[in-house]
Structure 1
């Protein structure tokens, strides 16, 4: 759920991460659909940092678009290196595509979710199948590294600041998006938690998604699920119908 931070704090919600800044722009004219624009990527990163009033050296993880292409990856790396590659300390570079592939229209949200969970748990998941950098990339002068195993969150330059990550996603039509994610605040339960079931320490609220081809099928599935949750159904509803 995306919610204003002030509202989340007021409601005593568990905040997984905070969207600190974001920006979107367009490549404009380029050498082709598969040829990204380095200048446009640099601009969208700078705009996102500016919108969140964030120093690039305070970001210690970048979730890259990272499609693994010979041309696109070096161009993206060049843009990232010009902003996040400088400064002290280390900055992890990863791409969820190594784990689940390219989800096309959903690729950006997959990277966003990964980065938010990494910030929340202070752990950066490994990149799969990484053995060496793209020949067109020289990472030596930068502070970037690619984690190949679960990695504790790198120390922030200066220390004491919140954990921050950045997420890039680029569309086939030339749209560039960049988001800065920050560690959420540590919230204490509201004093009147008893009047708000969702903030009570004993409350366990989950969301179950029910789908069907028709409204009648959705209603029937929901009814069977409700009976099963109440203990009135003899078996799990997921065993009643074959999955097609």
Structure 2
């Protein structure tokens, strides 16, 4: 709904939708907005991210994942960092094709040269970041940009202050930047905490402001005890602000890596009319799409028959149970026990759809899914709050005499 509310308030009639890619959501939004511009479906796009989730839900969730800092300190890249601190906020960017912005005399704050997306695929698990998946997102961004990482003079990292996550990010970046030395790195989470769905755009805003000021900002709290792995890496931690000097236009990489393996990396360049030359993408020719797999899972035993004839009054409308082939889903049984019913149902439909489909090339097969919010996610929080809600008895509860 946030996208529809914004479009309605502004009187806009172009494409408007929301997405969830966990902590990479806002950079995914930027990528999809750029695709709309490249393909000629829109002339101006807004990409935004917002995090104002239920505070109890976030704290309970991150505590269950052992990701919340028990000391209440956000310390990316610190040797003794013990977790993240959720933050609240929103960010928005307005995007146009570069040629159009120049023609219209717009104030240009920066130029997006490339965005790479990936997911971890079948890695060690939903809770474990995968360096290979992150590396693929970085490599895709620089391939699209048309230049290598050697021209990047700042990396705004995802680094949230979790020991495993920060070390994994150093490893994945280290493979892409292996031939370089002293590449400056930092993380906005040391200043604001983790903005979750808005984190990537917040980092983009930081970089745009840093380019305008000509200063690489410092990362707080890690100067005394940075992670040991940084010392042997191609990177140096920005523990104090410094002039941003670069040969040619200033360029930065911005990363956002989401829970479950959503990875995004964006390459941003400062606007210098005399030096920036970005090829304008030509809308692809129309093409037809073949449907090569299909599956429907409903309470009706015979879906085709249910379409052909009106259902009987006693026909089942809801599924009493959902069975999955563990060999097909490849999800540990312990994880399945904690999954929501609609997640299991979606997995069953996907497994059926791909069973008769052609071979799936891992690197170039995408998954897009529409799914509503499940009210079950509120059950645990309601259980915690119920005592406060019911004592003293609220006026909205009718008590029989």
Residue 96 of structure 1 corresponds to 188
Q: Distance in 2 between matches of 1:138 and 1:21?
A: 26
The Cα RMSD (Å) is 1.7
Q: Distance in 2 between matches of 1:113 and 1:2?
A: 13
Residue 83 of structure 1 corresponds to 176
Residue 164 of structure 2 corresponds to 71
The structural deviation recorded for 1:97 is 0.5
Residue 106 of structure 1 corresponds to 198
3-state SS of paired residue (1:129): coil
Aligned to 1:145, which of 212, 222, 236?
236
Residue 357 of structure 2 corresponds to none
- Does the 8 A contact of 1:64 with 1:168 survive in 2? yes
The structural deviation recorded for 1:33 is 2.5
- Does the 8 A contact of 1:33 with 1:173 survive in 2? yes
3-state SS of paired residue (1:71): helix
Residue 19 of structure 1 corresponds to 112
Which shifted more, 122-131 or 58-67? 122-131
Gaps of 5+ in 2: 1-93, 275-401
Q: Distance in 1 between matches of 2:165 and 2:98?
A: 35
Task: Report whether the alignment pairs 1:169 with 2:256.
Answer: yes
Residue 144 of structure 2 corresponds to 51
Gaps of 5+ in 1: 188-244
Aligned to 1:115, which of 207, 220, 225?
207
Distance 1:103 1:27, change over 3 A: same
Q: Distance in 1 between matches of 2:215 and 2:178?
A: 20
The structural deviation recorded for 1:4 is 1.3
- Does the 8 A contact of 2:230 with 2:236 survive in 1? no
Identify the structure with bigger relative contact order (alpha carbons < 8 Å, sequence gap 6+).
Answer: 1
Q: Distance in 1 between matches of 2:241 and 2:138?
A: 26
TM-score w.r.t. structure 1 length? 0.69
Task: Report whether the alignment pairs 1:179 with 2:270.
Answer: no
Q: Distance in 2 between matches of 1:119 and 1:140?
A: 28
Task: Report whether the alignment pairs 1:37 with 2:126.
Answer: no
- Does the 8 A contact of 1:15 with 1:185 survive in 2? no
- Does the 8 A contact of 1:34 with 1:172 survive in 2? yes
* Cα displacement string for residues 11-37 of structure 1 (whole angstroms, at most 9, x for unaligned residues): 112211100000111111222223111
The structural deviation recorded for 1:166 is 0.2
Which shifted more, 178-187 or 2-11? 178-187
The structural deviation recorded for 1:149 is 2.1
Bigger radius of gyration, 1 or 2? 2
The structural deviation recorded for 1:92 is 1.0
- Does the 8 A contact of 1:34 with 1:72 survive in 2? no
Which shifted more, 49-58 or 113-122? 113-122
